[in-house]
Amino acid sequence: MAGPLLVNTPVLSQSMWIVEIYMDGTDYFLVTVDRFNIEAIMSDKNPPPESASDKEALSQLRDQIDGIDRRIGELISERARCAQQVAEVKQSSNIGVGTFYRPEREAQVLRNIMEKNAGPLTDEEMARLFREIMSACLALEKPIKVAYLGPEGTFTQQACLKHFGQSAVTKAMAFIDEVFREVEAGSVNFGVVPVENSTEGVVNHTLDNFMFSNLKICGEVELRIHQNLMISEVTNVGAISRIYSHPQSLAQCRKWLDANYPNAERVAVSSNAEAAKRVKGEWNSAAIAGELAAQRYELQILAEKIEDRPDNSTRFLIIGTQEVPASGKDKTSIVVSMRNEPGALHNLLQPFREHNVDLTRVETRPSQSGVWNYVFFIDMNGHQSDDTVAAAMEEVSSRASEVKVLGSYPCAVL
């Protein structure tokens, strides 16, 4: 084939240019292009030069931002010094020793930040910024040690960092009961465990551990669960025949998998993080996990937010040894034990209705103390020190075999 005979000629129309014409024997081959598209591309690649006034305006704005950043840095340092002084006062006077972390105080601060936020950042974005500032300042008083259901890269670790911030010292545990034991032994200050998912329901292992533990619920975290399909750098995208994930995650993405990978083997593993680890180095496998797992194990997200329900979320509990004072917007969780008799549940719940206490969850679990005995896990709005909650619980105590208060704690802020 011969070389080009003619280039950049508007022969076909004013908008369609011939870029090249090739001749092969008696045949001609035209290579054309839309002039307007080319001009638009060239325009994007070569934007008009900034005017002197634009450069001056940008320079002034950048100087203004630099000045604001300096003031922000100075104020953060001032706040950090105040946190150090708080720690010194507590240590010298024995006030609050052992309770450096105050969940009710942090909830109040974050709510106040969100209420006074004037934008353009959203309330949640502003609260996340202050969450990290508070986490770093608290670490100056005393580093918080937190155990969570691992391994690294799980949604529980994501919830842990969301609640305590990046400055917390975290420790991954293999099982939920190990998280409880770490807190009970004093090896860590707090634990983070999942308790319920909006799609799959309650986590029974967590509820069962509360029946035999004296630990208290000190807080809660609500985490929107986004499932992502991820691969390693050696994965052949067109040859994916195996997908690893936790059984709940596989269930939460069932429709998407049926539509996109109907023939791929679905392999259930102990955690999403374990799924991510297995994919590393496999050329024909993928994993379903959260964004944190992709970061931890250096995987590439092939498809994001593949969960079947967009409102998929999980609630996590913060467990510790301390009682938490009222924050102004709280929940209380209790365990009630009674025999399985006709009308038992109705009689149990009646006092809450009479005292206008809003119940947010009631779960039934078989008691391990006797045949046909049951325990009820009840969550309600309000603090146990509130008059209405205290009155309702007093009546419930008179009707039940046993009432155990798991704790009052601030409602999730973030």
CA distances 382 to 119, 222, 366, 396, Å, are 30, 18, 27, 16
CA distance linking residue 34 with residue 30, whole number of Å? 13
Q: What is the residue-averaged pLDDT of the chain?
A: 87
CA distances 152 to 119, 148, 235, 292, Å, are 34, 9, 22, 9
Q: Is residue 373 part of a domain?
A: yes
Average pLDDT over residues 198-203: 83
Do 278 and 266 fall within a single domain?
A: yes
124-153 confidence digits (pLDDT tens): 999 999 999 999 999 988 889 999 998 999
- DSSP label at residue 239: G
- DSSP label at residue 9: B
CA distance linking residue 281 with residue 102, whole number of Å? 44
pLDDT band at 4 (very low <50, low <70, confident <90, very high): very low
CB-based contact 18:11 (threshold 8 Å): yes
Q: Is residue 236 part of a domain?
A: yes
CA distance linking residue 320 with residue 336, whole number of Å? 21
Do 58 and 40 fall within a single domain?
A: no
Q: What was the pLDDT predicted at 95?
A: 61
In sign, the C-alpha dihedral spanning 84, 90, 96, 99 is positive
Mapping DSSP to helix (H, G, I), strand (E, B) and coil, where does residue 363 land?
A: strand
Q: What was the pLDDT predicted at 411?
A: 98
Least trusted range by pLDDT, from 94-103, 254-263, 344-353, 397-406: 94-103
Do 58 and 104 fall within a single domain?
A: yes
Average pLDDT over residues 217-227: 96
Q: Which residues contact 401 (CB under 8 A, 6 or more apart)?
A: 337, 338, 339, 373
Do 59 and 134 fall within a single domain?
A: yes
Q: Is residue 318 part of a domain?
A: no
Which structure tokens are listed for 127?
A: 């609260």
Do 283 and 218 fall within a single domain?
A: no
Do 332 and 404 fall within a single domain?
A: yes
Pairing of strands 216-224, 228-231: unpaired
Q: What was the pLDDT predicted at 222?
A: 96
Q: What was the pLDDT predicted at 173?
A: 96
Q: Which residues contact 97 (CB under 8 A, 6 or more apart)?
A: 90, 91
Q: Which of 414, 219, 253 is nearest to 333 (CA)?
A: 219
Average pLDDT over residues 320-338: 95
Tell me which of 277, 311, 345 is where a domain ends: 311
pLDDT band at 79 (very low <50, low <70, confident <90, very high): very high
Q: What was the pLDDT predicted at 412?
A: 96
Q: Is residue 317 part of a domain?
A: no
Average pLDDT over residues 51-64: 88
Q: Say if residue 233's pLDDT is above 50.
A: yes
Q: What was the pLDDT predicted at 25?
A: 52
Q: Say if residue 339's pLDDT is above 70.
A: yes
Amino acid 51 reads S
Domain extent for 254: 228-311
Q: Is residue 3 part of a domain?
A: yes
Q: What is the CATH number of the domain that holds 366?
A: 3.30.70.260
272-288 confidence digits (pLDDT tens): 999 999 998 899 999 99
How many C-beta neighbours within 10 Å does residue 184 have?
15
Share of the chain above pLDDT 70, in %: 85
Q: Is residue 316 part of a domain?
A: no
What's the total number of domains in the chain? 5
Q: Say if residue 13's pLDDT is above 60.
A: no
Q: Say if residue 372's pLDDT is above 70.
A: no
298-328 confidence digits (pLDDT tens): 999 999 999 999 888 999 999 999 999 999 9
Do 161 and 181 fall within a single domain?
A: yes
Q: What was the pLDDT predicted at 201?
A: 83
Q: What was the pLDDT predicted at 97?
A: 47
Do 151 and 218 fall within a single domain?
A: yes
Q: What was the pLDDT predicted at 11?
A: 44
Do 91 and 25 fall within a single domain?
A: no
CA distance linking residue 291 with residue 164, whole number of Å? 18
Share of the chain above pLDDT 90, in %: 69
End-to-end CA gap in the chain? 67
Q: What is the pTM of this model?
A: 0.82
- What's the per-residue H, E or C state across 37-54? HHHHHHHHHCCCCCCHHH
Do 330 and 405 fall within a single domain?
A: yes
CB-based contact 388:382 (threshold 8 Å): yes
Q: What is the CATH number of the domain that holds 248?
A: 3.40.190.10
21-55 confidence digits (pLDDT tens): 444 555 544 445 454 454 444 445 555 666 778 88
Q: What was the pLDDT predicted at 107?
A: 97
Amino acid 316 reads F
Do 298 and 347 fall within a single domain?
A: no
Q: Is residue 178 part of a domain?
A: yes
242 phi and psi angles, rounded to 5 deg: -145, 130
- In the chain, % helix, strand, coil (3-state, to 5) comes to 40, 25, 35
Q: What is the CATH number of the domain that holds 112?
A: 1.20.59.10
Q: What was the pLDDT predicted at 374?
A: 80
Average pLDDT over residues 229-244: 95
Q: Is residue 319 part of a domain?
A: no
Do 401 and 334 fall within a single domain?
A: yes
pLDDT band at 89 (very low <50, low <70, confident <90, very high): confident
pLDDT band at 96 (very low <50, low <70, confident <90, very high): low
